[in-house]
Every structure is written in C-alpha cells, then in structure tokens.
C-alpha cells in the first residue's frame, strides 16, 4: 500500500512539473501554490531540481508534439519545420518562467519593507519589465514563423489546440494541488530568497 501511494505521489508530482513547463509565465506564476512544497521541505533554489524538471518538461514536450501533429494533420514537410519552432517556444517560456520567479522573489521583500531602497526596487522592476519585453518579442517572432508554416485552417486549429492543452495541464495541476493540500504536513523550513541582482544582469 505504501509503495502504491509513493508511486502515485511521484506521478502526480511529475504532472505538476510538466504542466508548469508548458504554461505561459503569467499562468505558471498564478498556478504556483503558496507555502512550502508538499513534504514540508524547503523549496528548491534557482537551480535546485532544475535537471529533473527539465527532463520532465522534455517528456511532456514530446507528448504535446505528438498530439499536435495528429490534431493539425501535419505533413512531413510541415512537421520538420514546425517541431523545432515549438521546441524553441517551449524553451523560451521555461526560461522566462524561471527568470520571472527570481525577479518576483527579489521584489516581494523590497515591496513589503518600508526601509528598502527605492533605487533597488526600481532596478528589480526594470529587470522584470525588460525581461518580459524580450520574451514577448521572441515569442511573437516564433509564433509568426509557426503561422507561416501552417495553412489558415491549421492556424485556427493551432490556437485552439494550445488552449485545450493548457487547460488539460492546468486541470492536472489543480488535481495535484487539491490532493497535496489534504496530505500536507506542518510548515517546514522557510524558503530561501533569491540572490540579489548583479551588475551583469
């Protein structure tokens, strides 16, 4: 019984990590549960668990691409052109999600502390906004390339495919959160803050 429970928990946790990889940055941030992760341990830092999460994200990416090829009835030529673009879009979203999380982690204590430096707040805000602009430009460029590969009907199908897939992943995430909330132990160690911005960032 304990073994079955452990396997089920691992599968559920995998679904959460995979779902987060495909959500847009704002959706991923909105869906992130507050408080410590299930198990009461400290949350992973900027690089903690990144390898496992990326491996899981790649697994989901394969699953998503297989569904997309079927739902959009892609030709072999379209598939060869579209798959690298979708992979680049997924990677851009993952990178943006990580960067935004760090910026928000830096910004929260600054916003809540009356004694914090307004110059530092302005610096973090600027970094957050510039990162968002860079990501949106990259995302728009990649989506333009995707649309160029697809016919008009496929472009419409692609829009609805993305929406269905995100809803499917969000549903899995909510199911995991609901189950984890019932089994969550007392709060564990406080999560560590993000490192401050450096001059190179």
Q: Per-residue pLDDT tens for 78-130?
A: 999 999 999 899 899 889 999 999 999 999 999 999 999 999 999 999 999 99
Cα 126 to Cα 114: distance, rounded to the nearest angstrom: 20
Angle between helices 50-72 and 152-183 (to 10 degrees): 140
Q: Note the pTM of the prediction, 2 decimals.
A: 0.60
Burial class (CB in 10 A: 0-12, 13-18, 19+), 199: exposed
- Look at residues 136, 139, 132 and name the one whose alpha carbon lies nearest to residue 85: 139
CA angle 130, 193, 190 (to 5 degrees): 150
Mean pLDDT of 37-49: 43
In the predicted structure, residue 55 carries a pLDDT above the cut 80:
no
Burial class (CB in 10 A: 0-12, 13-18, 19+), 128: middle
Angle between helices 50-72 and 2-22 (to 10 degrees): 70
pLDDT of residue 192: 58
For residue 17, count other CB atoms closer than 10 A to its CB: 19
167/55: higher pLDDT:
167
C-alpha distances in Å from residue 168, one per residue of 36, 132, 165, 183: 25, 25, 5, 23
Mean pLDDT of 12-40: 43
pLDDT of residue 189: 54
163/200: higher pLDDT:
163
pLDDT of residue 59: 76
pLDDT of residue 37: 41
């Amino acid at each position: 019984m304990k073994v079955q429970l452990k396997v089920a928990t691992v599968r559920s946790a995998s679904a959460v990590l995979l779902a987060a990889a495909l959500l847009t940055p704002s959706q991923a941030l909105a869906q992130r549960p507050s408080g410590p992760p299930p198990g009461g341990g400290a949350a992973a830092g900027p690089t903690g668990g990144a390898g496992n999460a990326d491996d899981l994200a790649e697994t989901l990416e394969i699953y998503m691409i297989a569904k997309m090829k079927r739902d959009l009835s892609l030709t072999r030529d379209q598939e060869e052109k579209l798959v690298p673009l979708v992979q680049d879009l997924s990677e851009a979203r993952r990178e943006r999600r990580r960067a935004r999380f760090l910026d928000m982690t830096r910004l929260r204590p600054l916003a809540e502390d009356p004694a914090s430096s307004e110059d530092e707040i302005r610096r973090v805000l600027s970094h957050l906004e510039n990162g968002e602009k860079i990501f949106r430009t990259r995302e728009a460029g990649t989506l333009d390339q995707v649309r160029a590969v697809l016919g008009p009907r496929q472009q419409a199908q692609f829009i609805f495919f993305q929406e269905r897939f995100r809803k499917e992943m969000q549903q899995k995430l909510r199911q995991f959160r609901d189950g984890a909330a019932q089994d969550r132990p007392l709060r564990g160690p406080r999560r560590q803050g993000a490192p401050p911005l450096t001059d190179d960032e």
